[in-house]
Amino acid sequence: MAPRSNPSERQRRLGAELRKLRLRAGLTGEQAAAFLGADRARISNIETGRIDVSRNRLYMVLRHYDCPPGPYFDAVMAMAQENGKGWWHEFTDTIGPAGRDLAELESRSTILRTHNPLVIPGMLQTEEYAHAVLTATESEPQRADRYAEFRMARQQVLTSGSPAAYHAIIHEAALHTRVGSPEVMRKQLLRLMEVSRLSNVTVQVYPFEAGVYAAHSRSFVIFGTGVPELDTVYLEHPTNSLLLWDGAELDEYAKMFERLSELALAPVDPQSAPESHESRDSLSLIQHVMYTL
């Protein structure tokens, strides 16, 4: 089988993990190739995600690389078993590989932490709000409709049989940034309060008075799988978004998110009555903005 020219995020990540383990074990590519009875080029293709490695061979490779049994070992094996065929393949007519990679990454995550400084995060958007955001950058109405449909489908990770835990920190600026009509904004802010009723969803607002922090102006998502070594940071960019896998960078973004959470207002609790708010929290701020639209 010829090497694939455009491996998916999962395939690239699996290859990167195998390369990391090989180097940690002090083995050269030639030594790994000799163990598998293959040439050096095959090892290179495996480590860049361009070709697959069978389950039996992967098990042998992990043991040869001194990877101990445990959650990480099992998670790497599971990554190799997945075929990448999910609901997102229904959108190949419009959504490119990067978008489908994002949906697959979300589907295998158990916890998602996101910080958004200018717009409401996609996972919490109403269809009208999403459509207004997308039509601002997409000139073809039909494509914008399809993108919005895709964004709504991605939200199933919050309500599926085993929903992911979701924690969003949204800058106050996103509440004031006009997207669509005032009615669209009111419905969107109401949606924020409604979705916060889900036991797996936490919403915090980062207020203007909290001032400047290292990451307060940068949008990012941390995808957690339950195995910290396999977490991923997603940095959104208009032309070329970035995925970070390096352990030091993962730790740094986790610390930044924790600090943002400390500086943000208390999480939305839609069950509490407005008169019970002795001090300003995320819910009271969202309500204030909604009522002034």
What was the pLDDT predicted at 136?
84
What was the pLDDT predicted at 35?
94
Say whether both 256 and 178 belong to one domain.
yes
Say whether both 60 and 113 belong to one domain.
no
Say whether both 175 and 278 belong to one domain.
yes
Summarize pLDDT for 99-149 with one digit per residue, the tens: 999 999 999 999 999 999 999 999 999 999 999 999 988 778 888 899 999
Q: How far is 136 from 226, CA to CA, in rounded Å?
A: 36
Q: Domain ends where: 81, 109, 143?
A: 81
Say whether both 124 and 71 belong to one domain.
no
Q: Are 24 and 65 in contact (CB under 8 A)?
A: yes
Residue 263 tokens, joined? 């500086």
Q: Domain ends where: 60, 81, 102?
A: 81
Walking along the chain (293 residues) 10 residues at a time, the average pLDDT comes out as: 87 96 96 93 94 92 96 94 87 92 93 95 96 86 91 94 95 95 96 93 95 79 94 86 92 94 89 61 93 90
Contacts of 50 (CB under 8 A, 6+ apart): 3, 4, 5, 7, 11, 15
Q: Are 2 and 43 in contact (CB under 8 A)?
A: no
Say whether both 91 and 64 belong to one domain.
no
What was the pLDDT predicted at 139?
75
Strand order in the sheet with 165-171: 201-206, 165-171, 111-116, 220-224, 232-235, 242-244
Say whether both 146 and 198 belong to one domain.
yes
What was the pLDDT predicted at 171?
95
User: Would you say residue 116 lies in a domain?
Assistant: yes
Say whether both 186 and 262 belong to one domain.
yes
Summarize pLDDT for 79-113 with one digit per residue, the tens: 988 887 899 999 999 999 999 999 999 999 999 99
User: Would you say residue 15 lies in a domain?
Assistant: yes
Q: How far is 282 from 264, CA to CA, in rounded Å?
A: 8
Q: Are 97 and 108 in contact (CB under 8 A)?
A: no
What was the pLDDT predicted at 191?
96
Residue 24 is part of which domain span? Answer: 9-81
Question: Residue 220: which H helix or E strand, with range?
Answer: strand 220-224
Say whether both 63 and 146 belong to one domain.
no
Residue 58's domain is classified under what CATH number?
A: 1.10.260.40
User: Would you say residue 258 lies in a domain?
Assistant: yes
Q: How many domains does the chain have?
A: 2
Say whether both 210 and 228 belong to one domain.
yes
